[in-house]
Amino acid sequence: MMSALASSLPRWIRGYPLKIAAYLAFLVVLAPLLAVIWVSFFENKIIGFPPTGYTLKWFVNAWNFERFHRGFILSVEVGLIATGVSILLGVPAALALARKKFVGHEVVHSLLMSPLIVPGIVAGAAIFMFFIEVEVLLNDRFKVQLPLAGSLFGLCVGHSLLALPWTVRLVTASLIGMDRQVEEAAMSLGATPWWTFWHITLPIIRPGIVAGAVFSFVASFVDLEKSIFLVGPGRTTLPIEMINYLEWNIDPTIAAVATIQALIIATALIVSDYFFKITRAF
Amino acid sequence: MATIALRHVTKRYHHTPSVDDISLDIAQGELVAFVGPSGCGKTTTLRMIAGLTDVTSGSILFDGRDVSDLPTYRRNTGIVFQGYALFPHMTVAENVAFGLQMRRVRGTAMAERVNDALAMVRLEDYAHRLPREMSGGQQQRVALARAIAIKPDALLLDEPLSALDAKLRQEVRDEIRRLQRSLGLTTVFVTHDQEEAVSIADRIVVMNAGKIEQVGSPQEVYEKPATRFVAQFIGLSNFLSGEVEAPGRFRIRGGGLLTYGDGKVNGGRQDLIVRPEKIELGAKPDQGLNHLEGVIDSVTYLGPLTEVRVRLASGEKLVAHRQNRRLGELETFQPGQPTTIAWAPEAGFVL
Query: Domain of B275: which CATH number?
Result: 2.40.50.100
Q: What is the DSSP string of B258-323?
A: EE-SEE----EEEEEEE-GGGPEESPPP-TTSEEEEEEEEEEEE-SSEEEEEEEETTS-EEEEEEE
Q: Say yes or no: B225 and B322 in one domain.
A: no
Q: Say yes or no: B301 and B190 in one domain.
A: no
3-class SS of residue A256: helix
Provide the 8-state DSSP code for B16.
Answer: E
User: Per the structure, how many domains does chain B have?
Assistant: 2
Q: Which residue of A has its CA nearest to B98?
A: A189
Residue B94: exposure state from Cβ atoms within 10 A (0-12, 13-18, ≥19): middle
pLDDT at A1: 44
pLDDT at A151: 85
**Chain B residues in contact with A185 (beta carbon < 8 A):** 79, 81, 85-87, 143, 146
Q: Which residue of B has its CA nearest to A183?
A: B85
Judge contact between B128 and B97, C-beta under 8 A: no
pLDDT at A5: 62
Tell me the shortest Cα–Cα distance from A241 to chain B, in angstroms. Answer: 44
B234: how many CB neighbours lie within 10 A of its CB? 22
Provide the 8-state DSSP code for B214.
Answer: E
Interface test with B, best of A188, A196, A200, A276 (most B CBs within 10 A): A188
Q: Which residue of A has its CA nearest to B74?
A: A190
Residue B185 backbone class (left: φ over 0; alpha: ψ -120 to 50; beta: rest)? beta
User: B5: which strand partners?
Assistant: B25, B61
**Chain A residues in contact with B87 (beta carbon < 8 A):** 182, 185-186, 200, 204
* Strand B31-35 relative to strand B203-208, pairing: parallel
Q: Say yes or no: B59 and B118 in one domain.
A: yes
For the ranges A70-79, A147-156, B264-273, the one whose mean pLDDT is highest = A70-79
pLDDT at B262: 64
Q: Say yes or no: B265 and B132 in one domain.
A: no
Residue A130 backbone class (left: φ over 0; alpha: ψ -120 to 50; beta: rest)? alpha
Q: Say yes or no: B146 and B283 in one domain.
A: no
Q: Say yes or no: B111 and B247 in one domain.
A: no
Residue where a domain stops, chosen among B201, B230, B259: B230
- Is B113's Cβ below 8 Å from some Cβ in A? no
pLDDT at B158: 95
3-class SS of residue B58: strand
Q: Which residue of A has its CA nearest to B150?
A: A189
For the ranges A12-16, A40-44, B92-96, B171-175, the one whose mean pLDDT is highest = B92-96
Q: Say yes or no: B226 and B310 in one domain.
A: no
Mean pLDDT of A117-132: 90
Specify the CATH number for the domain of residue B211. 3.40.50.300
CA distances from B148 to A47, A87, A180, B182 (A): 72, 38, 21, 12
Q: Say yes or no: B112 and B248 in one domain.
A: no
**Chain B residues in contact with A182 (beta carbon < 8 A):** 85-88
Interface test with A, best of B72, B139, B155, B156 (most A CBs within 10 A): B72
Do A184 and B99 lie within an 8 Å CB cutoff? no
Q: Say yes or no: B64 and B163 in one domain.
A: yes
Mean pLDDT of A241-247: 87
In angstroms and rounded to an integer, the radius of gyration of the C-alpha atoms of chain B is: 24
B70: how many CB neighbours lie within 10 A of its CB? 14
Look at A15-29, A174-188, B5-19, B319-333 and tell me which has the smallest mean pLDDT. B319-333
Q: Which run of H or of E encompasses B6?
A: strand B4-13
CATH architecture of residue range(s) A66-281: Orthogonal Bundle (1.10)
Q: Say yes or no: B344 and B217 in one domain.
A: no
- Is B150's Cβ below 8 Å from some Cβ in A? yes
**Chain B residues in contact with A203 (beta carbon < 8 A):** 89
Residue where a domain stops, chosen among B174, B195, B230: B230
User: B338: which strand partners?
Assistant: B295
Residue where a domain stops, chosen among B208, B230, B252: B230
Q: Which residue of A has its CA nearest to B52?
A: A184
What is the pLDDT tens value at each position of chain B, 351 positions in all?
A: 689 999 999 999 888 889 999 999 999 999 999 999 998 999 999 999 999 999 999 999 999 999 999 999 999 999 999 999 999 999 999 999 999 999 999 989 999 999 999 999 999 999 999 999 999 999 999 999 999 999 999 999 999 999 888 888 998 899 999 999 999 999 999 999 999 999 999 999 999 999 999 999 999 999 989 999 999 999 999 999 888 888 888 888 877 888 887 656 666 678 889 999 999 888 777 777 888 889 999 999 888 899 999 999 888 999 999 888 887 776 778 899 999 999 998 888 888
Q: Say yes or no: B197 and B278 in one domain.
A: no
CB pairs under 8 A between A and B: 65
Q: Say yes or no: B244 and B281 in one domain.
A: yes
Amino acid code (one letter) for A19: K
- Is B246's Cβ below 8 Å from some Cβ in A? no
**Chain B residues in contact with A179 (beta carbon < 8 A):** 83, 85
The parent domain of residue B318 ranges over 238-350
Judge contact between B293 and B287, C-beta under 8 A: no
3-state helix, strand, coil in chain A (%, to 5): 80, 0, 20
